[in-house]
Amino acid sequence: MHIGPLIRAMGRNRTRFALIILEIALTLAIVTNCLNIILDERKGMLKRSGFDDDNLVYVAAAPFGTEWKDQSFVDNIVKVDLRALHALPGVKNAAATYFLPWQGGGSSGTYRTDGFNGLFQAQIYPTTSQIFDTLGVQIVAGRNFVPTDTPANPNDSSKVTIISSALAKKLWGNANPLGKVIASREGTNPRTVIGVIGEFYNPYSWPIGDFVLFTPGRAWGPTGTSYLIRTEPGAMKAVLAEIEDCLIKVNPNRVMRTNVISEVKSTFFSTSRIAISGMLGLIIALIVVTALGIVGVTAMSVAERTKQIGTRRALGATRGDILRHFLAENWIATTAGLLLGVAGAYGLNLFLLSRVSDVKLPWQLVVAGMLLLWINGLLSTIPPALRATMVPPSTATRSV
């Protein structure tokens, strides 16, 4: 089959085919970028925190008694609270901390260190030594905090820190991070790295989800106390029923707010789930509309060329020849649309990179999109093309 005559024949209906070519190009550009965003969102949703997410609960207690203005009183309350929480049936561990996993934010700062060129950002949380057993993460190098690491004066800065392995890798590569010193942006408040934990991820507004500094310090004060509690598997419901009464018995002058971490995580990803559903709906709609457009164009071509089809049949063309003619015509239009769509896909990705996204479009996804639309075009052409093969040779002798 000669391509030249086919292209010249399509040129007589250039507006019709130009529109379908643009439709295919637009579909490829949008579909590939939507799929790229979906895959990135799914990657984030499947990323492990390294914590025992399913068995963690966070409790924040806001006081209203005047006695809470005394720091020593609050210090003592925290000790009693932690003993009471550890004594609850089903509680595996508990720590005083402001760190709430999967909230999508938290506390962070800008720091500097020897051996790393420039400044870097990381999350930072004061906490007690029980935090790592509570989260379910391992200290893979160095040691845990000890009581003497916490400054006696609440206004003094801590002198040591335990960091995530991802942050250690970022700052010093494969070198030993123990003994390294991390200071504030201004070079003040130096903290010596005494330990490294393994897997850590807490999503943040900036790309610092894997980077953290834990410091020994008071995660409590006159404004309230916060605790992260790890339960035994299957004990979450029973522990939740007891937490508030347990803390109220220690001091009744406060109100409680409880967050189950698995629910916090689900809420955090609710926007992602909505976005994924919306983009999947858009992808399906575009593919269906493109398929209907191809069906319509092919059906119109068949209706307009019924007599020519009959003439070709009378001259010896087989049904297979007729089918191949329309499939080839579609292949030309689809290929032209896909070539134009490749440029559109990367152009749209560059726009998204400059405005809302930081995920480059991989060529494999573009190739997959092209194959999908080629198949879509082929399947959409077959029904009207099969109707063309049913045109009898006798049609050529009828007057139009």
pLDDT digits (tens, 9 = 90+) for 55-90: 999 999 999 888 898 888 999 999 999 999 999 999
DSSP-based three-state secondary structure for 142: strand
Dump the DSSP string for 59-75: EEEEE-SGGGG-HHHHH
Q: Please give the pLDDT value at position 291.
A: 92
What pTM did the predictor assign?
0.81
Contact 368, 283 (CB under 8 A): no
Domain boundary among 153, 183, 218: 218
pLDDT in tens, 255-273: 999 999 999 999 999 999 9
Give the contacts of 155 (CB within 8 A, at least 6 positions apart).
Answer: none
pLDDT on residue 11 = 58
Same-domain status, 214 and 278: no
Tell me the sheet residues that pair with 229. 57, 94
Whole-angstrom CA distances from 382 to 14, 272, 296, 323 are 21, 38, 12, 8
Q: Are residues 291 and 208 in the same domain?
A: no
**Predicted confidence band of residue 316 (pLDDT cuts 50, 70, 90):** confident
- CA count, 13 A, side-chain hemisphere, 173: 6
Q: Is residue 307 part of a domain?
A: yes
Q: How many CB atoms neighbour CB 89 within 10 A?
A: 10
**Domain end among 185, 202, 218:** 218
Cα-Cα-Cα-Cα dihedral of 42, 44, 45, 51, to 10°?
150
Which pLDDT belongs to residue 303?
78
**pLDDT score recorded for residue 384:** 85
Scan for tokens 């494969």, then name that residue.
174
How many other CB atoms are there within 10 angstroms of residue 399's CB atom? 4
Residue 328 has pLDDT above 60, yes or no: yes
Does 68 map to a domain?
no
Position with higher pLDDT, 232 vs 308 = 232
Contact 183, 213 (CB under 8 A): no
Q: Is 17 in the same domain as 112?
A: no
- The answer to whether residues 214 and 279 belong to one domain is no
In a domain, 252, yes or no: no
**239-254 mean pLDDT:** 94
Q: How many CA atoms lie within 13 A of 131 on its CB side?
A: 27
Separation of alpha carbons 84 and 250, rounded Å: 8
Note whether residue 9 is domain-resident: yes
Is the pLDDT score of 396 beyond 90? Answer: no
Residues 191 and 290 in one domain: no
Mean pLDDT score, 160-183: 96
In angstroms, the CA 392 to CA 59 distance is 79
**Mean per-residue pLDDT for 276-302?**
90
pLDDT, residue 31, reads 95
Long-range contacts of 189-192 (CB under 8 A, 24+ apart): 189/157, 190/159, 191/157, 191/158, 191/159, 191/160, 191/161, 191/215, 192/159, 192/160, 192/161
How far is the C-alpha of 253 from the C-alpha of 316, rounded, in Å? 97
Strand partners, 93: 230
Whether residues 299 and 385 fall in one domain: yes
The domain in which residue 335 lies consists of: 3-46+270-397
Asked if the model's pLDDT at residue 335 lies above 80, the reply is yes
Percent of the chain with pLDDT over 90: 66
| Mean per-residue pLDDT of the chain | 89
CB 334 within 8 A of CB 28: no
- Asked, for residue 60, whether it belongs to a domain, the answer is no
Total domain count for the chain?
Answer: 2
Which of 175, 191, 218 represents a domain boundary (last residue)?
A: 218
- The answer to whether position 74 is within a domain reads no
* 337 lies in some domain: yes
Whether residue 275 sits in one domain with residue 207:
no
Asked if residue 132 is part of any domain, the answer here is yes
**Do residues 112 and 190 both lie within one domain?**
yes
Same domain, 275 and 212: no
**Is residue 288 located within the same domain as residue 385?**
yes
Does pLDDT of 125 surpass 80? yes
One domain, residues 384 and 284? yes
pLDDT at position 353 is 86
Tens of pLDDT, residue by residue over 193-210, are 999 999 999 999 888 999
Q: Tell me: do 109 and 39 sit in the same domain.
A: no
Task: List pLDDT tens digits, range 7-20.
Answer: 665 656 667 778 88
pLDDT of 400 reads 46
Whether the CB-CB separation of 314 and 396 falls below 8 Å is answered with yes
